[in-house]
Structure 1
Amino acid sequence: MGVVISLFFELSSRIGGMLSLRFDLNHLLSASLPTAAVFIVALLMLYRVSAR
Protein backbone atom coordinates (compact mmCIF):
# COMPACT_ATOMS: atom_id res chain seq x y z
CA MET A 1 0.00 0.00 0.00
CA GLY A 2 2.91 2.34 0.69
CA VAL A 3 4.21 1.90 -2.85
CA VAL A 4 0.82 2.85 -4.27
CA ILE A 5 0.70 5.98 -2.13
CA SER A 6 4.20 7.01 -3.17
CA LEU A 7 3.42 6.47 -6.85
CA PHE A 8 0.21 8.48 -6.48
CA PHE A 9 2.18 11.26 -4.82
CA GLU A 10 4.80 11.33 -7.57
CA LEU A 11 2.22 11.28 -10.36
CA SER A 12 -0.03 13.92 -8.82
CA SER A 13 2.94 16.14 -8.05
CA ARG A 14 4.16 16.01 -11.64
CA ILE A 15 0.70 16.52 -13.13
CA GLY A 16 -0.02 19.36 -10.71
CA GLY A 17 3.21 21.08 -11.67
CA MET A 18 2.46 20.83 -15.37
CA LEU A 19 -1.12 22.01 -14.97
CA SER A 20 -0.13 24.96 -12.82
CA LEU A 21 2.37 26.10 -15.42
CA ARG A 22 -0.03 25.53 -18.31
CA PHE A 23 -3.09 27.22 -16.82
CA ASP A 24 -1.22 29.78 -14.68
CA LEU A 25 -2.61 28.46 -11.39
CA ASN A 26 -1.33 29.27 -7.93
CA HIS A 27 2.07 27.54 -7.69
CA LEU A 28 2.04 27.29 -3.91
CA LEU A 29 -1.34 25.59 -3.91
CA SER A 30 -0.44 23.16 -6.68
CA ALA A 31 2.80 22.23 -4.91
CA SER A 32 1.26 21.72 -1.47
CA LEU A 33 -1.98 19.96 -2.45
CA PRO A 34 -0.44 16.55 -3.32
CA THR A 35 1.61 16.65 -0.13
CA ALA A 36 -1.47 17.44 1.96
CA ALA A 37 -3.49 14.69 0.25
CA VAL A 38 -0.83 12.04 0.90
CA PHE A 39 -0.42 13.25 4.48
CA ILE A 40 -4.17 12.90 5.12
CA VAL A 41 -4.24 9.42 3.59
CA ALA A 42 -1.25 8.40 5.72
CA LEU A 43 -2.92 9.71 8.88
CA LEU A 44 -6.10 7.80 8.06
CA MET A 45 -4.11 4.63 7.52
CA LEU A 46 -2.27 5.09 10.83
CA TYR A 47 -5.55 5.72 12.63
CA ARG A 48 -7.06 2.60 11.08
CA VAL A 49 -4.13 0.43 12.17
CA SER A 50 -3.97 1.86 15.69
CA ALA A 51 -7.73 1.47 16.24
CA ARG A 52 -7.46 -2.32 16.03
Structure 2
Amino acid sequence: MKNVDKIYSLALKLGGVSEGNPGYRNSGSFYGAYFRDLDGNKLAIFTRKVSG
Protein backbone atom coordinates (compact mmCIF):
# COMPACT_ATOMS: atom_id res chain seq x y z
CA MET A 1 0.00 0.00 0.00
CA LYS A 2 2.76 2.40 0.92
CA ASN A 3 4.46 2.04 -2.47
CA VAL A 4 1.21 2.56 -4.37
CA ASP A 5 0.60 5.76 -2.41
CA LYS A 6 4.14 7.01 -3.09
CA ILE A 7 4.04 6.29 -6.83
CA TYR A 8 0.58 7.81 -7.19
CA SER A 9 1.63 10.96 -5.32
CA LEU A 10 4.78 11.34 -7.41
CA ALA A 11 2.84 10.84 -10.65
CA LEU A 12 0.48 13.67 -9.74
CA LYS A 13 3.35 15.95 -8.68
CA LEU A 14 4.96 15.37 -12.09
CA GLY A 15 1.82 16.38 -13.98
CA GLY A 16 -0.23 13.19 -14.10
CA VAL A 17 -4.00 13.35 -13.70
CA SER A 18 -5.92 11.23 -11.19
CA GLU A 19 -8.26 8.58 -12.57
CA GLY A 20 -8.87 6.91 -9.19
CA ASN A 21 -7.42 7.61 -5.75
CA PRO A 22 -5.48 4.88 -3.94
CA GLY A 23 -7.70 2.40 -2.15
CA TYR A 24 -8.94 -1.16 -1.91
CA ARG A 25 -10.62 -2.49 -5.04
CA ASN A 26 -12.62 -5.56 -6.05
CA SER A 27 -13.99 -6.33 -2.59
CA GLY A 28 -10.57 -5.77 -1.02
CA SER A 29 -8.65 -8.23 -3.20
CA PHE A 30 -6.08 -5.58 -4.13
CA TYR A 31 -5.00 -2.05 -3.31
CA GLY A 32 -4.47 0.21 -6.29
CA ALA A 33 -4.71 3.58 -7.97
CA TYR A 34 -5.14 4.91 -11.50
CA PHE A 35 -3.73 7.95 -13.25
CA ARG A 36 -3.06 9.33 -16.70
CA ASP A 37 0.46 10.21 -17.73
CA LEU A 38 1.45 13.30 -19.72
CA ASP A 39 0.73 11.46 -23.00
CA GLY A 40 -2.79 10.58 -21.86
CA ASN A 41 -2.12 6.89 -21.18
CA LYS A 42 -4.12 5.45 -18.31
CA LEU A 43 -1.91 3.57 -15.88
CA ALA A 44 -2.83 1.27 -13.02
CA ILE A 45 -0.59 0.54 -10.08
CA PHE A 46 -1.52 -2.06 -7.49
CA THR A 47 -0.39 -4.50 -4.86
CA ARG A 48 -2.01 -7.58 -3.43
CA LYS A 49 -1.23 -10.24 -0.90
CA VAL A 50 -0.18 -13.55 -2.34
CA SER A 51 -1.20 -16.54 -0.28
CA GLY A 52 1.22 -19.34 -0.11
TM-score, L = length of structure 1: 0.37
Bigger strand fraction: 2
Q: Which has the larger radius of gyration?
A: 1
